[in-house]
Amino acid sequence: MIEVNAPVTMSDVARAAGVSTATVSRVVNGHYGVSARTVAQVRSAIEQLGYESSLVATSLRRSRTNVLGLVAHSFQSYTAEVLKGVMKALSRSGFDLIIYANSDLYGSYSEGWEQRHLTRLSGTLTDGCIVVTPWGDFRTRTPVVAIDPVRGSTAPSVISDNLAGATTAVEHLLGLGHRRIGFIAGRDSLASAWSREEGYRAALTTAGVPVDPTLIGRGDFNPESATPLARVLLQRPDPPSAIFAASDGMALKVLEVARELGFSVPRDLSVVGFDNIPESALTQPGLTTVDQSMYQLGYEAARMLKSLVTGEWDEPSQIVLPTSLVVRDSTAPPKGAARP
């Protein structure tokens, strides 16, 4: 049986304590102008009735709610890591966090849901929002910080140094002697996907290796999107000797497909990812990847949002976090092993 108590409202407390709702409100919020005796009465009434202020009613009336919002488009490892960073930054800061997720996440989903959620939240519920992987720029009443924004966005955002990271990754492969290096791209509306591809192209060009468009597969950061692309690359008569995937999730799928097709990694094929999600350290072989601290991304975004909300902003509105190459066991010199 479900215990369905009538909700205890402020006026219930007021009636029980023999005061007005205004006084109760003052007591709840610790405002000035209530005698100690009254405070005690009200507190005891609150205690007895088990009153909790309604988040909704409060936020409707108040401008500040001390609640920050987060809108994400899915819940992969990526998001979970970001979340941990956000929580850490918010811990004991007085800000609570609301994550809003819509039910159309799977299936055909309407383009504008992020904007819709944002306006619905920022209306009054939250003091500001963090958006993970958005589709565009947003109009809101309250501040928004984007993690990995769309290309060309000028909104406050936190992002990794994707260009440098991707360049380093491909240079690593080139250094091992690879010349035919495949690439699996991310969702190209995102700045990160674009920069990673840029890094790939730049590293090749600098090394004097021509960019072969047929070695580039167009994924969308969704791990599943990489499977058919990897299959195509590896079933060619002349498969690449290495594949650089724009995300670890996709790189892990490449490993899967490689195993399935009888490629031994790293003997027959080298694989490099991007992100360094926890799983990447645990696979067999361990995935060489570009570390971007998603935890840090979340942490910085939350810190940035906090100061935007409290109005003490004095840092650049675009934070770029460094990346670093983590070499594990999925990369080795190519089979021919002709060191340049």
Partner DNA sequence: CCTGGAAACGTAACCGATAACGATTGCAGT
Partner DNA sequence: ACTGCAATCGTTATCGGTTACGTTTCCAGG
Q: Which residues bind DNA (CB under 7 A)?
A: 7, 9-11, 18-23, 25-26, 28-29, 31-38, 51, 53-54, 57-58, 60-62, 123-124
Q: What does 264 interact with, of DNA, a copy of itself, none (CB < 5 to 8 A by kind)?
A: none
Shortest spacing between CB 339 and a copy of itself, in angstroms = 30
Binds a copy of itself (CB under 8 A): choice among 13, 14, 46, 155: 155
Q: 3-class SS at 181?
A: strand
H-helix or E-strand containing 67?
A: strand 67-72
Q: What does 22 interact with, of a copy of itself, DNA, none (CB < 5 to 8 A by kind)?
A: DNA
8 Å CB contact between 83 and 90: no
The count of other CB atoms within 10 Å of the CB of residue 335 is: 13
8 Å CB contact between 298 and 83: yes
* Tally of residues, the chain: 340
Shortest spacing between CB 36 and DNA, in angstroms = 7
100 binds a copy of itself (CB under 8 A): yes
21 binds a copy of itself (CB under 8 A): no
Site string for a copy of itself, 304-333 (x = CB under 8 A): ----x-------------------------
284 binds a copy of itself (CB under 8 A): yes
Shortest spacing between CB 28 and DNA, in angstroms = 5
278 binds a copy of itself (CB under 8 A): yes
Q: Please calculate the CA angle 39-42-47 and round it to the nearest 5 degrees.
A: 120
Residue 138: CA count within 13 A, CB half-sphere: 32
Nearest to 248 by CA among 321, 175, 330, 177: 330
Distance CA 299, CA 181 (A): 34
Binds a copy of itself (CB under 8 A): choice among 15, 43, 120, 231: 120
Binds a copy of itself (CB under 8 A): choice among 12, 38, 49, 93: 93
Provide CB contacts within 8 A for 197, sequence distance 6+.
166, 183, 185, 188, 216, 246
For 260, the token pair is: 């399935």
Shortest spacing between CB 299 and a copy of itself, in angstroms = 12
Kindly report the three-state secondary structure assignment for every residue of 272-333: EEEECCHHHHCCCCCCEEEECCHHHHHHHHHHHHHHHHHCCCCCCCEEEECCEEECCCCCCC
Q: What does 29 interact with, of DNA, a copy of itself, none (CB < 5 to 8 A by kind)?
A: DNA
Q: List interacting residues with a copy of itself (CB under 8 A).
A: 2-7, 50, 52-57, 59-60, 75, 77, 79-80, 83-84, 87-88, 90-107, 116, 119-125, 137, 139-144, 155-156, 278-279, 282-284, 308
